[in-house]
Structure 1
Amino acid sequence: MSKLNGKIALVTGGGSGIGLAIAQQLINEGARVVITGRRQAVLNDAIALLGDGAVGIVADVSQASSLEALYADVQGRFGRIDVLIANAGGGVHAPLGQITEAQIDEQFSTNVKGVVLTIQGALGLFVPGSSVVIVGSTASMDPGPTMSIYGGTKAAVRNMVRSWVAELKGTGIRINILSPGPTNTNSLRAAFGDKAEEGLAFLTAKSPLGRIGEPEEIASAVIFLASDAASYINGVELFADGGASQV
């Protein structure tokens, strides 16, 4: 039997990159999947790839009203959420002295506020045994130059989870963080702009495995944390980065 057979899963930011890979593996493991994102066209393309096992619903994780509408829709369709993957997020490269107020607001709004609203809004749909996996980043402990704000948002999420696992005591709900290292996605290249090849070469050289990760590898780690195979794992930050953050 598949690891998540019959489960209802929701993936924020599920239309592309790591989120899309996670949605595909959830379906492969037997789950019914809801993916969200801000752009209908992106969701449509993703659903075309994922097939009948997925539903796409437009939602903005930084807006409580948008999430309320999302969860009302999920309640009507499925009645519960067994697996929630809080994946939506993003980062902007900017060195100290060039960081704009808009960049700060954008990253904290999605990466911190968005995670809080996503999980808080889903509480009424969770059942005992539900699992939450937040897609973090190795930037929580090793942000590197120009990524101070992004790293700060991911470190904030790590500390929030330390509080939440205590608050959820007795509910049967687990919550963990899967923190990828550099992963082969279009968004990673876009973050480097016209210095993409130089940036990728730097990240490859830094890796003990001599390469960056693939979205499917990150998805496999997320599936593990979401499944009953990790039933006694709660409140951890698991790094999937080829060991780069450990050396």
Structure 2
Amino acid sequence: MTISAQYHSGIATSVAYRDGAGVNPQNSAREILPKEIALSLQALILNSHPALLCASGVSTKISRTEISMNLQEILKSLEKPVKHKIFVSYHHKLDQEYYDAFSTKFHDTYESIHDASLDSEIDSDDVDYVLRRIREEYITGTSCTVVLIGAETYQRKYIDWEIKATLDKEHALLGIYLPSAPRTENRISVPGRLHDNIQSGYAVFTSWENATESPESLEKYVAEAKSKYKSLIVNSREKKKRNG
């Protein structure tokens, strides 16, 4: 395999490799340069003497330091941003549009995991079995559970179980009440287990408008939820056996 590079005034303008099928130096480094090739190229150049590389017919002396800096920029551009995984608990029938909007808005920052409608996927009346499935297949690998609170969220047994599974694993808990959340005398109806942890100071509670104002806003609330002491967790409430 032959590796070639073009430089102009000390800046790497394109890097490509040839495997016998020809080379297209016009392609971007992100499209054609695997990280292994970049590392090999860096090692090859840094282990040799400074070279005279020709760019547009003009010979330019490139220092090893400049080459190293240019290659580091290329490697950095190849790295994908890390997405933090969060579990989103919500009532699928009534609040799907809010989940879709949430997932779309924060797609670049968070990987939203949801239960894909447990009512149809896990056909069992065994609460402990369902809780284990929730923990193993949905909660594990995430660090925070976001509960979207709509008109009937507080009545749903699976949401209670998802909150319980979250607290069993001592993950962060963030409640976001939607515009459709029921209100009585300026009080918002939330799932009982979430209420217990709002009262204890473990769960963070905010509005849809505040949480979705910007990626930075949601990040602030998630970070606050993650900072809470585990000793504040309250998870002694009896498991909800039915909806309503």
TM-score, with normalisation over the residues of structure 2?
0.33
Q: Which has the larger radius of gyration?
A: 2
The structure where helix makes up a greater share of residues is 1
Greater RCO, CA 8 A, separation 6+: 1
TM-score, with normalisation over the residues of structure 1?
0.32
